[in-house]
């Protein structure tokens, strides 16, 4: 297979949704069909030893939620698939945002009974702003749900995008018994197991007028299905690949991840329609996957994937050129040459050494602290710089300190490593060495950090909320002594030693800006491209 063919068979996508819509369950079933796992774990079955493969942290297993993005790679139908399973919880939006920078398309999971929910709306906007093609999977149709036309209206009204159903649920008043494949003109019905009264994977398939299909459907259901299909043909949006690629139309699929119903047909159709790796924007211009010079960017740092060794993995999205194990590359932000040794690909925490990787692939590199989220690595002879990631401004702040001064070394080491993942912002106060000020966009981030420090670094810590709600940076890093009106502000320094001004509320922040009219205040840190050597 040629290098060009290898690139074109890549499909790199994220799965996004509101919590509990079934995102992680769908991920598990896709892995099951891809042969990557042989027994899918249920995120509900906490009394058993089976957990979702993508929920690999201990806290995820205990709570049944995803708190960090997982990287999952497997082959199916001739495609090399890179799935990035993202946290659905709003407190981890920043991790999801960074992950979406690394994909070529996204699968949006919607609960058939709830429609478009708040977090789905936020994540969709990120995809829309980046022009990422969206494929929609309406999940849980084995349960009572909304009318599918109402769901289509919900998607258009709330998200502002038209939808094109690729299949259609069979049933009336939210009681669905199967799906109709509009392209192949086939009905697929799921049946109940007589022994347990639950729906199972075995299906009956056939055309709408086949006797076996007719025998399982009431006259009302058949009539409703025919009317719906006729209305879709006359008034629905036709499939348009160009509109999908521009993010103006979303292919819509109905199914049930928990019962496997419709998942395989969705996967196969998605792989047919989804885009391969495409060109990327850099400060120097656009680069194409086929460009021979290697380039990649770091979209995620993960500490302690192997808690016994306190390792640190930098996840790279390859954008151009062919990666080969042991390659020496230029780190644009420091100007140093780095050797990318021991590259790994992942199925959550399971690792496999990579000898060669192509644009679209995600690889993990052991890192000793040189790399940061948003950093670029490339060939020295053809330097490029990927545009840095915006940072979500923190809204909650707390003081973090160890309960025992005897654990100070482990405390400093743990805080340093976990801060590099980017979910929590760490600030130092001048002359205070026993504690840090931490900032986050959600309370759950504090709980996760406390849990991980205790379990992964054996340090019991105190997290004490402080009464500040917003942070301000200044353009040009204006030192505190040059500002007027800092009486109500706490002055701290971020990991790049930039002064940060924490304020009780937005009114106080506005008052500070009013008193210092010659200073430009920023609600988030300046982009890291200013760290480029020689700039």
Burial of 170 (0-12, 13-18, 19+ CB in 10 A): buried
Give the torsion sign (CA, 9, 15, 21, 25).
positive
35 among annotated binding-site residues: no
Name the E strands within 114-266. 134-139, 162-165, 167-172, 175-181, 186-192, 199-206, 249-254
20 among annotated binding-site residues: yes
C-alpha 256/C-alpha 144 separation (Å) is 12
- Cross-strand pairs, 172: 175
17 among annotated binding-site residues: yes
Distance set, CA 447 to CA 134, 440, 461 (Å)? 32, 11, 11
Pairing between strand 162-165 and 167-172?
unpaired
430 among annotated binding-site residues: no
> Rounded to the nearest 5°, which phi and psi values hold at 126?
-60, -45
Token pair 């690394």 is found at 102
DSSP class of residue 112 equals T
> Rounded to the nearest 5°, which phi and psi values hold at 72?
-135, 125
> What residues have CB less than 8 Å from 530, skipping those under 6 apart?
none
C-alpha 89/C-alpha 93 separation (Å) is 7
19 among annotated binding-site residues: yes
- Cross-strand pairs, 176: 171
Residues of the chain by 3-state class (helix, strand, coil), percent to 5: 25, 30, 40
> DSSP states of 344-357 as a string?
EEEETTEEEE-SEE
286 among annotated binding-site residues: no
86 among annotated binding-site residues: yes
143 among annotated binding-site residues: no
Pairing between strand 280-282 and 285-287?
antiparallel
18 among annotated binding-site residues: yes
Q: Find the radius of gyration of the CA atoms of the chain.
A: 25
250 among annotated binding-site residues: no
> What residues have CB less than 8 Å from 477, skipping those under 6 apart?
498, 499
Q: Give the chain's end-to-end CA distance (angstroms, integer).
A: 41
Pairing between strand 162-165 and 249-254?
parallel
Long-range contacts made by residues 228-234, C-beta under 8 angstroms, separation at least 24?
A: 228/148, 228/149, 228/168, 229/168, 229/180, 229/182, 231/149, 232/165, 232/168, 232/182
Give the other-Cβ count within 10 Å of 433's Cβ: 9
C-alpha 485/C-alpha 512 separation (Å) is 6
* Encoded tokens for 424: 């929590």
C-alpha 244/C-alpha 137 separation (Å) is 15
Give the other-Cβ count within 10 Å of 311's Cβ: 16
300 among annotated binding-site residues: no
Name the E strands within 342-395. 344-347, 350-353, 356-357, 362-366, 376-378
Binding site as annotated, residues:
17-24, 85-89
Binding site as annotated, residues for GTP:
17-24, 85-89
């Amino acid at each position: 297979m040629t290098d060009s063919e290898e690139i074109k068979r890549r499909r790199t996508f994220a799965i996004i949704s509101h919590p509990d819509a079934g995102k992680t369950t769908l991920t598990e079933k896709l892995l099951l069909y891809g042969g990557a796992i042989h027994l899918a774990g249920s995120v509900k079955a906490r009394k058993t030893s089976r957990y979702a493969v993508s929920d690999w942290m201990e806290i995820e297993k205990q709570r049944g939620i995803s708190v960090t993005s997982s990287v999952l790679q497997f082959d199916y139908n001739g495609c090399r698939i890179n799935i990035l399973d993202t946290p659905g919880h709003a407190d981890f939006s920043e991790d999801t945002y960074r992950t979406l920078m690394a994909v070529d398309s996204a699968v949006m999971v919607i609960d058939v009974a709830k429609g478009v929910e708040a977090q789905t709306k936020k994540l969709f906007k990120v995809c829309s702003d980046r022009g990422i093609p969206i494929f929609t999977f309406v999940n849980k149709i084995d349960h009572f749900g909304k009318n599918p036309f109402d769901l289509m209206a919900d998607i258009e009204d709330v998200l502002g995008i038209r939808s094109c159903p690729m299949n259609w649920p069979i049933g009336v008043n939210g009681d669905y018994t199967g799906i109709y494949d509009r392209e192949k003109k086939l009905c697929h019905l799921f049946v109940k197991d007589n022994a347990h009264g639950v729906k199972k994977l075995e299906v009956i398939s056939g055309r709408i007028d086949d006797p076996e299909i007719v025998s399982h459907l009431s006259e009302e259901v058949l009539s409703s299905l025919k009317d719906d299909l006729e209305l879709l043909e006359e008034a629905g949006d036709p499939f348009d690949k160009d509109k999908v690629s521009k993010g103006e139309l979303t292919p819509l699929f109905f199914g049930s991840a928990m019962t496997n119903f419709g998942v395989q047909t969705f996967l196969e159709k998605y792989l047919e329609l989804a885009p391969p790796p495409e060109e990327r924007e850099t400060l120097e211009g656009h680069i194409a996957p086929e460009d021979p010079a290697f380039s990649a960017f770091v979209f995620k740092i993960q500490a302690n994937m192997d808690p016994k060794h306190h390792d640190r993995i930098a996840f790279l999205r390859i954008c151009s050129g062919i990666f080969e194990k042991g390659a020496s590359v230029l780190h644009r932000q420091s100007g140093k040459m780095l050797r990318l040794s021991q590259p790994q690909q992942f199925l959550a925490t399971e690792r496999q050494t990579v000898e060669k990787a192509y644009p679209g692939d995600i690889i993990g590199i052991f890192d000793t602290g040189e790399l940061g989220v948003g950093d670029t690595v490339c060939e020295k002879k053809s330097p490029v710089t990927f545009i840095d990631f915006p940072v979500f401004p923190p809204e909650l702040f707390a003081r973090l300190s160890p309960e025992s001064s005897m654990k100070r070394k482990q405390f400093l080491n743990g805080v340093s490593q976990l801060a590099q993942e980017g979910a929590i912002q760490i600030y130092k106060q001048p002359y205070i060495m026993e504690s840090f000020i931490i900032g986050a966009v959600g309370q759950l981030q504090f709980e996760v950090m406390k849990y991980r420090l205790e379990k992964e670094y054996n340090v019991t810590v105190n997290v004490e909320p402080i009464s500040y709600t917003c942070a301000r940076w200044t353009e040009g890093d204006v030192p505190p002594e040059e500002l007027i009106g800092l009486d109500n502000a706490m002055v701290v320094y971020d990991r790049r030693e930039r002064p940060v001004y924490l304020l009780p509320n937005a009114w106080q922040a506005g008052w500070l800006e009013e008193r210092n009219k010659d200073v430009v205040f920023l609600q988030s840190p300046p982009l890291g491209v200013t760290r480029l050597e020689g700039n």
